[in-house]
Amino acid sequence: MPVISVRIDDNLKKRMDKFSYVNWSKVLRQELQKVLDSLEKRNMAKAVLINEKVRKKADFDSTDIIRKWRDERYGEDRC
């Protein structure tokens, strides 16, 4: 498991020392996980919103455009 270092001020360390029975590494891991989960959900929600905006803008049938391009490139008889 990788190790990271975190700097805290003296006052915070003294307060933590009062509760020596607490596994502070575990507390930090859990909180980091919560923050990461929240950020990932926010990114997913943002992606869904962007997708919906794009879908709403595309208020046409793309197959018509593709057919037009193919007809222009190859001729109507070849497709």
pLDDT value at residue 39? 87
Sign of the dihedral defined by the CA atoms of residues 57, 63, 68, 73, in that order: positive
Domain that holds residue 42: 25-74
Specify the number of domains making up the chain: 1
SS3 label, residue 69:
helix
Question: Residue 59 and residue 66: Cα distance in Å, rounded?
Answer: 15
Residue 10 lies in a domain: no
pLDDT value at residue 56? 72
Residue 60 lies in a domain: yes
**pLDDT, mean of residues 64-69:** 84
* Helix, strand, coil content of the chain in percent (nearest 5): 70, 0, 30
Burial-class residue 17 by CB neighbours within 10 Å (0-12, 13-18, 19+): exposed
Residue 1 lies in a domain: no
In this prediction, residue 73 has a pLDDT band, given cuts at 50, 70 and 90, of confident
